[in-house]
Amino acid sequence: MHEARIDDYLAQLAEQGYCIIENVLSPEQADAIADEVRKLEAELEIKPHANIFEGAKTRRIYNLLTQGTTFWAIATNPVVLPVVEGVLDKGLLVSSLSTIHIGPGEIPQPIHVDDGIINLPLPHPPLVCNTMYALTDFTEQNGATRIVPGSHKFNTAPEFGKPYDSIPAEMSKGSVLVWPGNLWHGGGENTMPEDAPDSWRMGLAMNYCAGFIRQQENQQIGIPMEMIKTFPKRLQELIGFAPYQGVIGHIDRRSPMAMFDATDTHSLTNVFPPSPEE
């Protein structure tokens, strides 16, 4: 994407705490992925996890990188990834990739921050940057993500379960909402009638974290190694096989990437200048 456009999204993120990137996917691409998700839900017999956070009428499929190349391409999307790299840095990681499919009758998810579980004093630099791909239109009625604009500048986290003034991040299918881990937000209430066509809201939650903290989903163990070997190189890096700054995550001074490519340059040997000659 053009640098100026990235700067524009980064300015919106800095100012209001979110941006919406339109037309990342065409409507046809969004429909095709939504069909894939519905098929997976049937195959995997996905049911709501039925708790106050994940929802009683919401279907979620986790660990989606194990479910085919469609999802690999989401993680490395050339329009969205540079914006997220601008918030974190190029050493970022995929934290998790899941579907969030909100059905009619779902109540509002508690307003929360995604990095709230990390017990660091506020404010702190962004540790998490999350994105939501709309695979159906997101409307106020079908449960579009609720956001509290400007809340990324607050020095407190929301009280769990307390109602807050928020706006719906309405967007057409194929658009992507981006926000840093400290923006107050939550999944919306779905007030659509059960029998209305398109009563369900489907999103892909493509979440990233800084390269120096733990990923929410453990992809090094959760994805079979034989599958990881077939990933594109950038995806291997993004799931945690490239040490951050060549150091964090090395194995005996070597990059795990060397398992796939002997010429890999992430090795610790390239980080430090040689010691002065004796």
Binding site for ligand AKG (CB under 6 A): 100, 109, 114, 132, 145, 185-187, 203
Integer Cα distance of 181 and 159 in angstroms: 16
- 31, with CB counted inside 10 A (0-12, 13-18, 19+), is middle
> Looking at beta carbons only, is 2 or 162 nearer to ligand AKG?
162
Local structure of 135: helix, strand or coil: coil
Provide CB contacts within 8 A for 6, sequence distance 6+: 82, 83, 86
Integer Cα distance of 93 and 63 in angstroms: 14
Residues 211, 134, 74, CA angle at the centre, nearest 5°? 40
How many CA atoms lie within 13 Å of 132's alpha carbon, on the beta-carbon side?
30
Smallest gap from Cβ 19 to ligand AKG, in A, equals 15
Smallest gap from Cβ 83 to ligand AKG, in A, equals 18
Local structure of 59: helix, strand or coil: strand
> Looking at beta carbons only, is 60 or 233 nearer to ligand AKG?
60
Q: Which of 99, 117, 268 has the alpha carbon at shortest distance from 200? A: 99
> Looking at beta carbons only, is 111 or 257 nearer to ligand AKG?
111
> Looking at beta carbons only, is 174 or 187 nearer to ligand AKG?
187
Smallest gap from Cβ 54 to ligand AKG, in A, equals 7
CB distance 230 to 66 below 8 Å: no
CB distance 60 to 98 below 8 Å: yes
Buried b or exposed e, range 212-248, using 16+ CB within 10 angstroms: bbebbbebeeebeeeebeebeeebbbbbbbbbbebee
Smallest gap from Cβ 114 to ligand AKG, in A, equals 6
> Looking at beta carbons only, is 59 or 250 nearer to ligand AKG?
59
> Looking at beta carbons only, is 206 or 238 nearer to ligand AKG?
206
Smallest gap from Cβ 136 to ligand AKG, in A, equals 12
> Looking at beta carbons only, is 130 or 236 nearer to ligand AKG?
130
Smallest gap from Cβ 128 to ligand AKG, in A, equals 11
Smallest gap from Cβ 208 to ligand AKG, in A, equals 14
> Looking at beta carbons only, is 24 or 132 nearer to ligand AKG?
132
CB distance 224 to 134 below 8 Å: no
How far is residue 182 from each of residues 55, 74, 80, measured CA to CA in Å?
21, 23, 19
Smallest gap from Cβ 53 to ligand AKG, in A, equals 7
